[in-house]
């Protein structure tokens, strides 16, 4: 039984999803959960992309101890120098250097010949080895590269010291049989490939990222790259939870497994969804809300008689629980803290105190408190550092024959307050126009979503907004039993992110 190593790129490739911008503190929180999940390697970011990205990589490198922390870099010395600076405090560090190899990339993007690409690849790996014992080389768009030339590149970078070679399907073009054949051919043509990790990295443009990744495993790949929930550029990347469950459930066929702690999958999926604002579809495999639901009478009857008639995965195996009602207004701080640990949080005492105070307020508004309530509540309290604005109050005047009018009071970082009012086409529109006036920011609302966190008339409402200002696109999240208050909180938080990130370089992305 082979063990397949997992390389998670949620914090880098996943963040390249349009509209996703994860703060440093949020990246650390996700990384710690990925460590708990058992991920072998975590790509914390692209250190050379911006000062913010370099800071995020450095913070993740300081906090995570059991997983190898990786930074992406182009085949450029300055990129590799910045990656080294960001990773120098990591307990286990690795560099991921990439260079495109396909004819279309050589001609139109790089304007380089085969010989120049080969020379640059070897130079990059040789330079990286000065800093790192572990170096991964990715032949960007490898799947559309001539197999003879790809074999040449793979052989050359292994000789230069690469310990992992990644063969990405950067544009999601391959079929499973074609992609698997590339790995079979490389193992045959490059004998040295047996002594290193051979990695697959698949995009989902044609909906085959997971199938292609599994085909690569069948053909001898020893590492799978992907993201939680399959997020990423365009149609996204291979969903790691799907790959892991396919290998676990069909060990009889693949003869391979991972070292992931599968019971952490649900928690990891929910955390990534909340912090990125990318909602998991109900019919998503493994982690969707309907993944273990049975509505058909025939299916229900079968499951009641014998669960395996219609269920090949038990919900408990990936961390879903049936009993979610655990805490109430009489619960103490100690029980609350233990529940946070059970849910996977890593909070300082001051943060526990802040979350507990908010929990008690929620208990006065809601009769029953579930795990989902606590997850949503605590995630909204995870904002660290001083924010430019905080919502103190929102008032709304609305009637079906009157013009909606909203007034807001915001607190600035220095403690001073600003109040503004505005009319709008609806309640949310008037609130947002008032906030625009109060902050003095000119932004465009690109997306607005409301979700119910739990059930019942007193359910928590979770609001996601996506704002754009120039080249910056950010998300904000708010939670409250009042969806209008949640809407205001989400909008203010998104504006705070714009103020925080304004002036930073736009991150560079690859496939």
How would you label 394-432 residue by residue, b for 16+ Cβ within 10 Å and e otherwise? bebeeeeeeebbbbbbbbeeeeeeeebebebeebbebbb
Task: Give the whole-angstrom CA distance, residue 59 versus residue 196.
Answer: 29
Give how far the C-alpha of residue 11 lies from the chain's centroid of Cα atoms, to the nearest Å: 5
Full 3-state SS string of 206-266: CCCHHHHHHHHHHCCCCEEEEEHHHCCCCCCECEHHHHHHHHHHCHHHHCEECCCCHHHHH
Extract the tokens encoding 425.
Answer: 């086409």
Which DSSP symbol is given to 471?
T
Whether residue 13 is annotated as binding a ligand: the answer is yes
Task: List the end-to-end C-alpha distance of the chain, in Å, as a whole number.
Answer: 31
- DSSP reduced 3-state for 398: coil
Give how far the C-alpha of residue 40 lies from the chain's centroid of Cα atoms, to the nearest Å: 16
CB within 8 A of 78, min separation 6: which ones?
A: 48
Task: Decide the pairing of beta strands 93-100 and 197-202.
Answer: unpaired
CB within 8 A of 31, min separation 6: which ones?
A: 11, 42, 44, 60, 63, 64, 67, 69
Which DSSP symbol is given to 77?
H
CB within 8 A of 431, min separation 6: which ones?
A: 394, 396, 406, 408, 424, 484, 487, 488, 491
CA dihedral 124, 125, 131, 132 (to 10 degrees): 150
How many CA atoms lie less than 13 Å away from 236 in the CB half-sphere? 17
Extract the tokens encoding 265.
Answer: 């999958």
Extract the tokens encoding 124.
Answer: 């990059």
Angle 154-155-161 (CA atoms, 0-180°, nearest 5)? 90
Rg, C-alpha atoms of the chain? 24
Whether residue 201 is annotated as binding a ligand: the answer is yes
Phi, psi angles (nearest 5°) of residue 239: -80, 115
Task: Give the whole-angstrom CA distance, residue 408 versus residue 495.
Answer: 15
Q: Return the number of other C-beta atoms located less than 10 Å from residue 248's C-beta.
A: 17
Angle 359-362-368 (CA atoms, 0-180°, nearest 5)? 100
Cβ atoms of 52 and 504 within 8 Å: the answer is: yes
CB within 8 A of 188, min separation 6: which ones?
A: none
Residues of the binding site: 13, 201, 203, 237
Binding residues for Mn(2+), by number, are 13, 201, 203, 237
């Amino acid at each position: 039984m082979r063990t397949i190593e997992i390389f998670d790129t949620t914090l880098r490739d996943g963040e390249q999803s349009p509209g996703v911008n994860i703060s440093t503190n949020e990246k650390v929180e996700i990384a710690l959960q990925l460590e708990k999940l058992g991920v072998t390697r975590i790509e914390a970011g692209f250190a050379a992309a911006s000062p913010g990205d370099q800071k995020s990589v450095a913070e993740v490198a300081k906090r995570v101890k059991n997983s190898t922390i990786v930074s992406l870099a182009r085949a450029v010395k300055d990129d590799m120098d910045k990656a080294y600076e960001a990773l120098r405090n990591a307990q286990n560090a690795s560099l991921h250097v990439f260079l495109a190899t396909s004819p279309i990339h050589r001609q139109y993007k790089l304007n380089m010949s085969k010989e120049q690409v080969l020379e640059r690849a070897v130079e990059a790996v040789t330079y990286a080895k000065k800093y790192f014992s572990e170096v991964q080389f990715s032949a960007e768009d490898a799947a559309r590269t001539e197999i003879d030339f790809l074999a040449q590149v793979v052989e050359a970078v292994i000789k230069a010291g690469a310990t992992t070679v990644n063969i990405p399907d950067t544009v999601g073009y391959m079929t499973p049989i074609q992609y698997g054949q590339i790995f079979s051919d490389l193992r045959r043509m490059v004998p040295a490939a047996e002594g290193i990790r051979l990695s697959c990295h698949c995009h989902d443009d044609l909906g085959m990222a997971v199938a292609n990744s599994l085909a690569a495993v069948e053909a001898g790949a020893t590492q799978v790259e992907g993201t939680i929930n399959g997020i990423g550029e365009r149609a996204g990347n291979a969903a790691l939870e799907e790959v892991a469950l396919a290998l676990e459930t069909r060990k009889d066929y693949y003869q391979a497994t991972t070292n992931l702690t599968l019971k952490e999958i649900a928690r990891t999926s929910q955390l990534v969804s909340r912090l990125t604002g990318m909602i998991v579809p109900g019919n998503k495999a493994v982690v969707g809300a309907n993944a273990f639901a049975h509505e058909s009478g025939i299916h229900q009857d079968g499951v009641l008689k014998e669960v395996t008639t219609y269920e090949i995965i038990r919900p408990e195996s990936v961390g879903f629980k049936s009993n979610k009602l655990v805490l109430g207004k009489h619960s103490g701080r100690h029980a609350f803290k233990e529940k946070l640990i059970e849910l996977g949080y890593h909070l300082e005492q001051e943060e526990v105190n802040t979350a507990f105070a908010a929990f008690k307020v929620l208990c006065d508004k809601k009769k029953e408190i579930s795990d989902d309530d606590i997850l949503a509540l605590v995630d909204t309290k995870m904002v660290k550092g001083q924010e430019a604005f905080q919502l103190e109050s929102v008032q709304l005047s609305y009637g079906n024959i009157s013009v909606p009018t909203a007034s807001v009071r915001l607190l600035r970082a220095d403690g001073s307050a600003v109040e503004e009012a505005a009319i709008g086409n609806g309640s949310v529109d008037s609130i947002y126009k008032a906030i625009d006036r109060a902050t003095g920011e000119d932004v465009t609302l690109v997306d607005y979503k409301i979700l119910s966190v739990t059930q019942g008339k007193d359910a928590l409402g979770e609001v996601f907004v996506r704002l754009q200002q120039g080249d910056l696109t950010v998300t904000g999240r708010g939670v409250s039993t009042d969806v209008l208050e949640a809407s205001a909180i989400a909008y203010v938080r998104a504006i705070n992110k714009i103020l925080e990130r304004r002036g930073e370089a736009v991150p560079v992305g690859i496939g």
